[in-house]
Amino acid sequence: TQVEKQGFRHYMLKEIYEQPAVVRSSLDTYINLNWHADENPDYSPVNIGLTPDMTDNLEHIQIVACGTSWHAALVGKYLLEQVAGIPTTVDYASEFRYSPKPVIPNTLTIGVTQSGETADTIAALESERARRVNLDPKYHARLLAITNRAESTIAQICDCIIDTQAGIEIGVAATKTFVAQTMGFYFLALDLAYRRQAVSNQRISEIVEGLRQIPSQIETILDTQADAIEELAHHFTNETEDFIFIGRGINFPIALEGALKLKEISYIHAEAYPAGEMKHGPIALLDNKVPVVAVAMPGSVYDKVISNAQEAKARDARLIGVTTAMNATEAGHTFDDILTVPEVDEIVSPVLAVVPLQILSYHIAAIKGLDVDQPRNLAKSVTVE
Ligand code: G6P
């Protein structure tokens, strides 16, 4: 009803606008404000409450998830490897359950889920517990859930949970739960990085500061970009049948998520590629009818993404860039349209970069008059295999 939507036309839009509050609430819950790098604190910068039997001697982390949660897991893998220094694998739960990796000792297994009830994710976690139970204790399963549903089946199967504080999501296309799961991975990676001294306290402090800016930075995107994105959306509501999304490094999962949002609610075919892979296939698809969205956040791979985007432009593709305000002028030479986000450290940039893509998909679907909150053939929670 309108009352529940609080004046928003759809739940999805309402949930996009709830993201600053959700991130704020997760920061309030998990960040230790007393922690200061220069005081050499002997406790963690985050309070996620993981017991030592979950985190000691970790050699390996494996993550199982489906859909949008799988994209959050890919951002998580980047953080766990690049910040905490722990080798991490990510599998679709539906694949993992039938082809699990050989067991590695001292493994943390993470299930990421917005509903807490996805059948494949439940089965993957249960089978992981079962196949390790009779082995030497160092092989025993350590199961962690990253979810907004503390009362769910998956939360109960697991030994620990990070409650992402997103609350219940109604729109079938996940938005706020994705951002909140991603925040959960930042907290986990920071906690493990601190315990293992994988990066300096100074670096931890910088990342925490970056995260603390996120709520107001998302507000800036909502306040300054939403109208322009809606305007842009009108270009893709009639003829456009395919979209390509590209990104690299920590923002490749954001390209995947941008493409998934578009497919789910606008029924426009969209594919995402790591930008460097364009030349190995998708570039053959490009012409002036196939827009390309490049997630081009300043940092280690910015120049690479720009040059990959220029290759697309040479094939007459309409080029849309997601980049920061400071880079917008320079990027203006490359992109036909720019979705601007505030200045941000690359390591926390996915949480911002996803927001304009959510808004773009939302408006394309809404302008087409589609049922944004209940897209055809999709369910909010997939409780059958
Ligand atoms: C369904 C939903 C998606 C979600 C996926 C995984 O397909 O429509 O939005 O990403 O399931 O669900 P989970 O609840 O495990 O995150």
Q: What is the pLDDT of residue 313?
A: 85
Q: Is the pLDDT of residue 325 over 90?
A: no
Report how far residue 128's alpha carbon sits from residue 133's, in angstroms, rounded to the nearest whole number.
9
Q: Which of 88-92, 331-335, 366-370 has the lowest mean pLDDT?
A: 331-335
Q: What is the pLDDT of residue 314?
A: 84
Residue type, 380: K
Q: Which atom of ligand 1 is nearest to the CA of 118?
A: 15
For 340-373, the pLDDT digits (tens) are: 999 999 999 999 999 999 999 999 999 999 999 9
ipTM: 0.98
Summarize the confidence of residues 156-161 as an average pLDDT.
98
Q: Give the closest residue (by CA) to ligand 1 atom 8.
A: 380
Q: Is the pLDDT of residue 2 over 70?
A: no
Report how far residue 127's alpha carbon sits from residue 130's, in angstroms, rounded to the nearest whole number.
5
CA atoms within a 13 Å half-sphere pointing along the CA-CB vector of 341? 27
Q: What size, in residues, is the chain?
A: 385
At 48, phi and psi to the nearest 5? Answer: -95, 0
Cβ atoms of 184 and 176 closer than 8 Å: no
CA atoms within a 13 Å half-sphere pointing along the CA-CB vector of 129? 14
Q: Is the pLDDT of residue 326 over 90?
A: no
For 24-76, the pLDDT digits (tens) are: 999 999 999 999 999 989 999 999 999 999 999 999 999 999 999 999 999 99
Higher pLDDT: 311 or 331? It is 311
Report how far residue 121's alpha carbon sits from residue 117's, in angstroms, rounded to the nearest whole number.
8
For the Cβ of 66 lying below 6 angstroms from any atom of ligand 1, the answer is yes
CA of 57 to the centre of ligand 1 (A): 32
* CA geometry: angle 378, 232, 345, nearest 5 deg: 85
Q: Is 5 a catalytic residue?
A: no
Report how far residue 218's alpha carbon sits from residue 241's, in angstroms, rounded to the nearest whole number.
29
Summarize the confidence of residues 202-221 as an average pLDDT.
98
Q: Is the pLDDT of residue 96 over 80?
A: yes
For the Cβ of 380 lying below 6 angstroms from any atom of ligand 1, the answer is yes
For 116-136, the pLDDT digits (tens) are: 999 999 999 999 999 999 999
- Reported as a pLDDT band with limits 50, 70 and 90, residue 10 is very high
CA of 41 to the centre of ligand 1 (A): 39
Summarize the confidence of residues 199-208 as an average pLDDT.
97
Q: What is the pLDDT of residue 1?
A: 60
- Of the residues 5, 304, 368, 380, which is catalytic? 380
Q: Residue 234: is it exposed, middle or buried by C-beta count within 10 angstroms (0-12/13-18/19+)? A: exposed
- Reported as a pLDDT band with limits 50, 70 and 90, residue 333 is confident
**How confident is the prediction for the chain on average, in pLDDT?**
96
Report how far residue 198's alpha carbon sits from residue 132's, in angstroms, rounded to the nearest whole number.
28
Cβ atoms of 50 and 191 closer than 8 Å: yes
| Helix segments in the chain, DSSP class H | 2-5, 11-17, 19-30, 52-55, 67-82, 93-96, 119-132, 153-157, 176-196, 201-233, 252-266, 302-313, 325-331, 350-367
User: Is the whole-model pTM more than 0.90?
Assistant: yes
